[in-house]
């Protein structure tokens, strides 16, 4: 608990490498019209290097607008708020949401240039919830990154699935799935890949 959140590593990748890639992306928003993600955090840079996340939870009715990064450091209290907001609402269980996933969501939001909050359809999923959803649908992965707090399913009513997916994919930072029939985009901080239409 005494460890600074900004110093954590994930899957053996030093935190400094993760931050370096993200910082490039956050910085690029002010400069590039067509950014790429080895810079996802860089898309959020500017205005004093403050990163915010603005969302509404479709399942709980809760809303959140939080500054979670200030001048090179993640804000612990904001991350705790995000963890709770992204909880498995069916079981009321929380898990630490990967900072890289938060950065990808925030960078995507900035890139689509909308004041509307993202609608969160699914954040963290407990093993029990994921198993239940797998029984209902063949589209739910057995080893989903939702189980690890590394994925989110999001929607914007003011932007199409394609627009949100293109913005997320331009970050080059993780997985982006288009679910046009269900009107949402899956984003995660796993391997870089895209699927769906």
> CB of 129 within 8 A of CB of 65?
no
Global pTM reads: 0.77
Question: Is residue 11 over pLDDT 80?
Answer: no
CA-closest candidate to residue 152, choices 196, 179, 189: 189
The encoded tokens of residue 52 equal: 């915010």
> CB of 174 within 8 A of CB of 192?
yes
For 34-43, 121-130, 135-144, 182-191, which range has the lowest pLDDT when averaged over its residues? 34-43
Phi and psi at 187, nearest 5°, equal -125, 145
CATH number of the domain within which 105 lies? 3.30.1380.10
In the chain, % of residues over pLDDT 70: 76
What is the number of domains present in the chain?
Answer: 1
Q: Per-residue pLDDT tens for 139-161?
A: 788 889 999 999 999 999 999 99
Question: Which residues constitute the domain of residue 9?
Answer: 5-196
The encoded tokens of residue 15 equal: 């935190």
Question: Is residue 14 over pLDDT 50?
Answer: no
- What's the pLDDT score for residue 175? 96
Instruction: Please report where in the chains the tokens 């993640």 appear, as a residue.
Output: 74
- What's the pLDDT score for residue 71? 86
Alpha-carbon distance 152 to 155, whole Å? 10
Q: Per-residue pLDDT tens for 65-108?
A: 999 999 889 999 999 999 999 999 999 999 999 999 999 999 99
| Alpha-helix residue ranges (DSSP H) falling in 35-160 | 76-85, 99-112, 127-136
What CA dihedral angle connects 70, 101, 1 and 130, to 10 degrees? Answer: 150
């Amino acid at each position: 608990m005494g460890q600074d959140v900004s110093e954590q590593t994930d899957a053996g990748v030093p935190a400094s490498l993760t931050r370096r890639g993200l910082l490039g992306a956050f910085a690029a928003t002010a400069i590039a019209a067509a950014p790429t993600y080895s810079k996802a955090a860089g898309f959020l840079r500017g205005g004093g290097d403050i990163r915010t996340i603005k969302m509404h939870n479709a399942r709980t009715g809760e809303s959140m607008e939080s500054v979670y990064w200030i001048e090179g450091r993640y804000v612990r209290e904001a991350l705790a708020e995000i963890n709770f907001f992204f909880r498995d609402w069916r079981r009321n269980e929380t898990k630490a949401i990967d900072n890289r996933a938060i950065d990808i969501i925030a960078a995507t939001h900035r890139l689509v240039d909308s004041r509307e909050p993202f609608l969160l359809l699914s954040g963290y999923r407990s093993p029990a919830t994921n198993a239940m959803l797998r029984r209902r649908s063949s589209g739910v992965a057995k080893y989903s990154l939702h189980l690890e707090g590394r994925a989110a399913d999001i929607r914007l009513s003011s932007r199409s699935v394609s627009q949100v997916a293109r913005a997320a994919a331009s970050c080059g930072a993780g997985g982006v799935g288009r679910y046009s029939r269900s009107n949402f985009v899956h984003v995660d901080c796993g391997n870089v890949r895209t699927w769906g239409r």
